[in-house]
Amino acid sequence: MNQQLQRRLEKQHYAIVGQHSAVKLCHWMKQSLLHQRHCYKQDFYGIESHRCLQMTPTINQCNHGCLFCWRYQGFSERELHSADPAPMILEQSIQAQQRLITGFKGDDRCDRRKWEEAHHPNMVACSLSGEPTLYPYLGTFFESCHDRGMTTFLVSNGTTPEVLTQLDPLPTQLYISLVSPNEEVYKRLCNPVIDDGWKRIQKTLELLSSLNTRTVVRHTLVKGWNMDESYIDSYANLILEARPDFIEPKGYVFVGSSRKRMSIAAMPAHEEVLHFSRLLSDKTGYDIVEEKPDSRVVLLSSGRKNERIRQS
């Protein structure tokens, strides 16, 4: 890794693992340890925020430069030329998280039981930065996680359908980010560095229902960019093609490096996210089953696999 990039990331409290992976404590991990508050994923899917390992095997590899992304976009690589072994990445990621939470023990507000449990994460959120499916041993990584009894969530931008088709094992839950209703908005908002990204996303949506795992289509809603009511029909058609188990409309938050590219006016209120979700529900037949206003997120369910929620 470029040493200047590594120093910048470490200053931002990333723990670098090997050549191309990283760990960072989630906001909700800290909230859970100190203030007994938790991530919406705990409400929606039953994971424990204080036992979640937020990481990425591709800290410096991505094929999008999304304007709304809060992460530092110092990406200089589109593929991995020398990939670290998956078991090593997992082991060192756990060790990195253990080091990152060390100082919480001395805080009087810290729940000591949770702090002890946090040393033994049982959930991996493969979502921190970059595009994780560019890591060539992702299936082996998930296998290593599952061998330890860990739940795995993968967040992908959907531009690598060939990887998802061959991925074995699949993660416990697969998120596909669908942040645009059409190719025009996609090119403006996602700023892709590949020519056929929109076609690749469409192909991923077409195959989604054939994947034997829990699936979620996630919308990052950016006011003035991709959540106009005129886009609802287009979103609904794409979702009905994909037939995911769940839909997650979530409001963009004006934080991190996105503040250099967006304005605070792009951040929708929860009521606006909820209104969008109601319109989407009417068009798709998916029911609104949960919401978390402090995260500006709503969960819609197809009803087909409700019994799988909270069982990961």
- Taken in order of first residue, the domains within the chain and their CATH numbers are 3-218 (3.20.20.70)
pLDDT of 90: 98
179-187 mean pLDDT: 98
For the cut 60, the answer to whether the pLDDT of residue 179 exceeds it is: yes
pTM equals: 0.94
Say how far apart CA 11 and CA 71 lie, in whole Å: 13
pLDDT of 305: 56
Say how far apart CA 300 and CA 273 lie, in whole Å: 12
Q: Write down the residue that tokens 């890794």 correspond to.
A: 1
For the cut 70, the answer to whether the pLDDT of residue 308 exceeds it is: no
Percent of the chain with pLDDT over 90: 88
| Mean pLDDT rounded to a whole number for the chain | 94
For the cut 60, the answer to whether the pLDDT of residue 312 exceeds it is: no
For the cut 90, the answer to whether the pLDDT of residue 76 exceeds it is: no
Residue 290, φ and ψ in degrees, nearest 5: -150, 160
Helix-then-strand count for the chain, H and E: 11, 10
pLDDT of 70: 83
276-302 mean pLDDT: 97
Q: Which residue, 132, 97, 103, is CA-closest to 15?
A: 97
Say how far apart CA 79 and CA 130 lie, in whole Å: 11
pLDDT of 102: 96
